[in-house]
Amino acid sequence: MKAKHQRLILALVALGGVAGAGVLAASALRDEAAYFRTPVEVQGGKAGGGEAMRLGGMVAKGSIVRQSDGLTIRFVATDGKASVPVEYRGIVPDLFGEESGMVADGRMRADGVFVADRILAKHDERYMPPQMSEMPKNMKAPAGV
Amino acid sequence: MDAARGMTSLRAAVTAVRRVRGANRWTLLSGSPKDDAKPMHAYANPTRFLAIVKPLTPWLLGAGLFFVLGGAFGGLAMVPGDYKQGETARILYVHVPSAWLGMGGWTSLAIAGLVQLVWRHPLSGIAARAIAVPGMLFTALCLATGSIWGRPTWGTWWEWDGRMTSMLVLLFLYAGFIALTSGDDGQPQGGSLSRGAAIYALVGAINIPIINRSVVWWNSLHQGPSITLRGSSIDGALLWPLGLTLFGFSLLFGAIVLMRMRRILADNRVSARLRRLADEED
């Protein structure tokens, strides 16, 4: 066996080892590296007890209610399986709206309402011209969700 | 005192040249006929490499500029804004090619590192050095455009989600590689990489699939992939300028890498000539 082939095999074995280590590390990080918790995780008790956390989900259709003080809003965050009511006092990003994604920093209150102190809008992977968004759903580009 | 020290280091350099002359003829630009027999090393001869690269560079540069400007005009003036984001969506015509080249840059850098480790191809180290700076530049451009887009879209300049963090790690990997391969101390001759730098390039490549999968493996603020093997969720009316800028920026990247490789080769030639002169004086 030539030295060149030895080096090639050694490099490939080392590369395989490093890739394996990377995959192991990535899968071990699965929960830790998540940017937010989904409503089903929150209800399943993965986070609670008033500790600071991040909740992400879709804003349920027709759920945004503005309170009488004009600043506080309430809405329901959902992931299709579970939903969590959210209360937030402040200004939301322009892209925040019903049936679109959002991420909220805050904590669960004892009554099961998530009190947010910051809200970010989450954009999905669809891009299309304005006139197309009025077309029926099945005419749109594949959502790929 | 200084003069004496200068003479000593000159003498050391000359001895070093004599030592490598037999093993690494290529640095002294005397093309060896033996190299021609191996297909891998057919372009190791810089004269042959330059004969192809010199006329290719201006074409790559010109075509790259043409496609980038065409794509920019299409993206800024011809296509409509996004249905939801409006005008800010147009930043994707720079952001996506930057991300592609930042990640593609490290992929090719890692391949160059592997070629250097296994086959000791004399151009591989030069290619890796030439890729590092534009690769880092495009990674920085990707982070900057993403941040500028994130402020109006998400409502934040920066968040530590999986995609953004792994892309920032890529920027630091580039910085580390540039630091490892610059300076004169401990650098091998003729622009090739030290073994440590080549291994670093290979190990750093593990970050590339992590960046790519970060939005799939972990909940992230960054949206999932728009363009997959199954198709594109960017509508065709908004997609075509992205094809142009992707192609154009890639050609520009190629042109920059070739120009930088030529510069390193020219530097090598100068230092080889200086060493030969010192050799004759001795």
A68 CA to chain B: closest CA distance, Å?
25
pLDDT of residue B122: 85
pLDDT of residue B85: 84
Q: Does B5 touch chain A (CB under 8 A)?
A: no
Q: Which chain A residues are within 8 Å of B213, Cβ to Cβ?
A: 26
pLDDT tier for residue A124 given thresholds of 50, 70 and 90: confident
**Bigger pLDDT: B87 vs A49:** B87
**Bigger pLDDT: A77 vs A110:** A77
> Among candidates B126, B53, B132, B104, which has minimal Cα distance to B249?
B104
Q: Does B33 touch chain A (CB under 8 A)?
A: no
Percent of chain A with pLDDT over 90: 19
Question: pLDDT, tens digit, for every residue of B85-132?
Answer: 888 889 999 999 999 999 999 999 999 999 999 988 889 999 999 999
Record the pTM: 0.82
Q: Which chain A residues are within 8 Å of B223, Cβ to Cβ?
A: 122-125
CA-based nearest residue in chain B for residue A100:
B84
Q: Which chain B residues are within 8 Å of A127, Cβ to Cβ?
A: 82, 85, 89, 92, 226, 233-235, 238-239
Question: pLDDT, tens digit, for every residue of B14-68?
Answer: 555 455 444 444 444 434 444 444 566 666 677 888 889 999 999 999 999 999 9
Q: Given a cut of 50, is residue A25 above it in pLDDT?
A: yes
**Bigger pLDDT: A43 vs B70:** B70
Q: Which residue do the tokens 């198709």 mark? A: B231
Q: Given a cut of 90, is residue B231 above it in pLDDT?
A: no
Q: Given a cut of 80, is residue A44 above it in pLDDT?
A: no
pLDDT of residue B188: 80
Q: Given a cut of 70, is residue A120 above it in pLDDT?
A: yes
CA-based nearest residue in chain B for residue A31:
B218
pLDDT of residue B244: 95
**Bigger pLDDT: B253 vs B237:** B253
State whether B203 and A18 contact (CB < 8 Å). yes
Q: Given a cut of 50, is residue A67 above it in pLDDT?
A: yes
State whether B223 and A124 contact (CB < 8 Å). yes
Q: Which of B27-41, B64-78, B179-193, B194-208 has the lowest mean pLDDT?
A: B27-41
Q: Mean of the pLDDT values across residues A26-52?
A: 77
What ipTM does the predicted assembly reach?
0.79
Q: Which chain B residues are within 8 Å of A40, Cβ to Cβ?
A: none
Phi first, then psi, for residue B227 (nearest 5°) are: -115, 115
Q: Which chain B residues are within 8 Å of A98, Cβ to Cβ?
A: none
Q: Mean of the pLDDT values across residues A102-110?
A: 89
pLDDT of residue B29: 43
Q: Mean of the pLDDT values across residues A59-83?
A: 89
State whether B221 and A35 contact (CB < 8 Å). yes
Q: Mean of the pLDDT values across residues A119-123?
A: 90
pLDDT of residue B46: 76
Q: Given a cut of 70, is residue B152 above it in pLDDT?
A: yes
Number of residue pairs across A and B with CB atoms under 8 Å?
140
pLDDT of residue B39: 60
Residue from the list B152, B217, B238 with its beta carbon closest to the beta carbon of A30: B217
pLDDT of residue B174: 97
